[in-house]
Every structure is written in structure tokens, then in C-alpha cells.
Amino acid sequence: MMASKLHATTIITVTKYKSEEDYRKGKPYEVIKKEGNLMLVTGMSAIWNLVTGGSSFHYDNTNTYIGVGDSNTAADENQTDLLGSNKTYKQCYTGFPYATGKSLIIFAVFEGSEANHAWNEIVAKNNATGVCLNRAVQSFGTKTSGEIWPMQIEIKLSN
């Protein structure tokens, strides 16, 4: 009998722009990549419910949000959402999320007046159900007014 090995790898990319003008010109001042996150029990359950037809709450453009918060509490699979006192959720950019090959790509752009606080935790959330797929903890820095920080979350499956 062959052993089953299914792996999920997550790559989170935050690209930081000082201004709208720098964003339009494609001139970031910093790009941070983090590999790894923790799938939450609620998120894993939501995936299986979608696969088996037990749920109609899809992670589509209408319902998928990226959340950022200021808690640096270590991730645990039994958590259900962001833990920080400052947190912001942003709906995915037009055309996201989408699946390609073995990957799910989630993308949102936090504009100049949004999420101006420390970014220490990240989730991908279904706004209709409130269920988060995952949670990652890392200091991405503190976003200030006027800065634009796009974020991409890529979840890849492999054997």
C-alpha cells in the first residue's frame, strides 16, 4: 500500500508602496514574502463541506476577504479568526480568488485609508459565513495613511 502524502504550502506576499503614484508606477519600497501558515479546523471543515456539496457558501469574489490584524499570538488550528484589537478585512480584487493548476490565488489591495495599523496576522475569510481558512502570524510592519499594500495569498497543494 502506498502512503498518502498531501501537502499544502502557503506563500503570502505583501508589496508596499509609499503612495498611489508609486503604486501606479509599480515602484514598491519593500516586498515581504512569508512561506507557511496554519489551516484552521473551521477552514478545513468548510473545504470538505464544499467538496461534498454540504455548503453553497463559496470562496468566490463576492465572499472572499483577506483580513489583517495586530495580534502576534501564535497560530493554533482551533482559532477561528483574527485575534487583534485592530483588524481590517478587505474584499478580494476583481477576478480573485481563482484556481490554477495546484494553486489557489487570493489577492486584495489595501488602499491608503485602510488597515493603517500593525500587520502581525493574516486570514483568508468567507464573509458570508465568517469562516476563516487559515491564519498566519508574522510582523509585516505597520501600514501608515497614504500607503498602498497589496497582498497575495497562494495556497499550493502537492503530493
Question: Starting at the edge strand that comes first in sequence, how are the strands of the sheet with 118-126 ordered?
Answer: 38-39, 131-142, 118-126, 64-69, 87-91
Flag whether 16 is in a domain: yes
Nearest to 150 by CA among 126, 99, 100, 115: 115
Domain count of the fold of the chain: 1
Flag whether 2 is in a domain: no
What is the distance between the alpha carbons of residues 25 and 23, in angstroms, rounded to a whole number?
5
- pTM of this prediction exceeds 0.85: yes
Q: What is the mean pLDDT of residues 7-19?
A: 95
| pLDDT band, very low/low/confident/very high, at 62 (cuts 50, 70, 90) | very high
Flag whether 27 is in a domain: yes
Flag whether 45 is in a domain: yes
pLDDT in tens, 134-146: 999 999 999 999 9
Question: Is the distance from CB of 107 to CB of 93 less than 8 angstroms?
Answer: yes
Residue 21 exposure: Cα atoms within 13 Å on the Cβ side: 0
Q: What is the mean pLDDT of residues 20-45?
A: 95
| pLDDT band, very low/low/confident/very high, at 75 (cuts 50, 70, 90) | very high
Flag whether 67 is in a domain: yes
Flag whether 1 is in a domain: no
Average pLDDT, the chain: 94
Structural domain boundaries, residue 113:
8-158
Flag whether 130 is in a domain: yes
